[in-house]
Chain A
Amino acid sequence: MPALAVRELRKSYGDFEAVRGLSLEVEPGEIFGLIGPNGAGKTTTIKTIIGLLKPDSGEIELLGRKMPNKGVLAKVGYMPQELALYRNLTVEENLWFYSRLYGLSREEFEKRKESILRFVGLEKFRNRLVGKLSGGMQRRASLACALIHDPEFLILDEPTVGVDPQLRASFWSYFRELTKEGASILITTHYMDEAVNCDRVAIMMNGKVLITAPPEQIIEETGSATLEEAVLKLTGVVG
């Protein structure tokens, strides 16, 4: 059974159809990349999956439960494109708040927060207000908040925007580590050099999936040198 199954999803805003009959499946323990040009419908898809938007039609099954289902969200971590942190709270207070939303007890939180802070390298900044952190540190804090409850399924919308290459690399090795522990990840990104790290990617265009396959296979089948070239060929968007 897939960790996430989306079938024939449709969502429009007024006259504009943002998602037109999208289907995809994310296998347990997989890093699944959703890539495509701006306006392809990636964020709408993600927001619909997590229940922030109501689909017009289609089915979503997350961790074996039909969505919308508030209960299953306790096992899901979500990192939106925006910062999604309280700027007037410290890093630790932000972590505490989100841990409470996911029902962690004080003890569980105290235990969990140390390893998370260490991973994102914010141990020394735990008492600093988020608004006073650099952009990169804010992204790290945001990721930490999505991970605080040790989710089984992780939804990351452009998690590496504004993050330097070193940290990006460590983000990806951590994602890989998480999947080894059994978590599944759905990620959107603009950086093709990091999208190749996904187990499979779905290339989106105008609200539809053009192709779903491992990145190497897409590169090979399109006769391209890089994933970037392959995506350009497939979407017809030549930059």
Chain B
Amino acid sequence: MNMGRIIAVAKRSLLELRHDRRLMSYALITPIVLMVLFGLAFGGHVQDVKVVVVNGDGSFGSEFVKNLNTSTFSVSHAGTLEDALNELKDGKCWAVIYFPRDPSEGVKVYLDRSNTYIVNAIVSGINEALMKTLEENGLKLPVRVKYTAVYGSNAKFMDTFLPGVMSLAVFIISMVLSLLSFIGERNLGTLDRALASPMSEGEVAIGYSLASGIIGTLQVIIMLTIAVFGFRVNVEGSLLLSFVIVAILAIVGVNLGILFSNISQNEAQAVQFVPMVIVPTFLLSGIFWPVEAIPKYLRPFSYILPPTYAVDALRSVMVRGWGLGRIWGDVAILLGFGTLFLGLAVLNMKRRR
């Protein structure tokens, strides 16, 4: 191993990127676009859900409506239940809250359950308002449930997603960049020329990994900056540790790209691998749904996807504020993937002889 040659390979990759505007913007603008899109789309809570209240009862009903969260709900009133239900059936509102003339009949809620997110927001909003109204009326429940957040007390939707979005962007981009670059190296003969020098296959792969680690860290700095200043995301744990996790993930991606480059003759064939990696990563690595929500028979796939471990580790660091001592398992597995793919990439280059 010669450090000079490894650094030369890394520096050359970065130089190439600097001269190629198309690839450069792919590497640096994609994370920005992704971050802004996800931030805007997932940034807030469910808001302005239209509900119609039919108040046949009077005082209790109006107190209840007062206690409904005004940012979650947009309340309108209807004279009769029929009118209200028609609005619900026409899709003009998400729920009808009906207070019968006789309070002993209870409160009735009619729902449009076609969107789970909205239903969840309605149900918890109604429960919250109901408890508040009952307490104001002097009713004390014998048992109360009190929730205390040990981790993520200030966490918004976005805080939970950020580690996933970052991992996805870094992993995919590092894989695609090395895939394209390596196909070029093979077709243009530069790889042959380089290997006809004293340089070894291992030095090539490590040089590529180094460059990719640097680009990955850069991407994460950009995304974190947008997330923290643009979307007020909190980062509880060590930034440095987050960078290290992402850099390892980038190394895994780069070597996977080298491997894929061997089974494709040209760029057009290579792009076909991209969805094959993006879709499972997107669905199964715990970016949007926790691995616990994935059917048991699919979970083995989650566990062979390197981003699963990066997402888990990053989330623990960024939301829970954990240190290396508590995420070393994830980091060790990621390092294992990195070493494995690097070894395979080297073997793969050697096998072509």
Contact = CB atoms under 8 A, between A and B. Distances in A.
Q: Do A and B make up one complex?
A: yes
Interface stretch (A77-85, A163-171, A220-228): A77-85
Contact of B193 (A54, A70, A78, A129): A78
Interface residues of B, number: 26
A74 B189 contact: no
Contact of B4 (A76, A81, A82, A103): A103
B16 interface: yes
B188 A101 contact: no
Interface string B322-347: 00000000000000000000000000
Interface stretch (A86-94, A191-199, A231-239): A86-94
B19 A101 contact: no
Contacts of B187: 82
B196 A78 contact: yes
A71 interface: yes
Nearest to A129: B19
B190 A86 contact: yes
A102 B2 CA distance: 11
A97 B16 CA distance: 11
B195 interface: yes
B12 A97 contact: yes
A78 B20 CA distance: 27
A101 B194 contact: yes
Given A86-B16, A100-B4, A51 B196 contact: yes
B189 A98 contact: no
Contact of A93 (B5, B15, B195, B198): B15
A142 to B, nearest CB: 9
- Top-3 shortest CB links A-B: A82-B189, A100-B8, A84-B189
Interface of A: 47, 50-54, 70-71, 73-74, 76, 78-90, 93, 97-98, 100-103, 129, 145
30 contacts: A47-B192, A51-B195, A52-B195, A53-B353, A70-B200, A74-B198, A76-B196, A79-B193, A80-B189, A80-B193, A80-B196, A81-B189, A82-B188, A82-B189, A85-B190, A86-B12, A86-B188, A87-B184, A87-B188, A88-B20, A88-B23, A89-B16, A89-B19, A93-B12, A93-B15, A98-B197, A101-B5, A101-B199, A103-B4, A103-B5
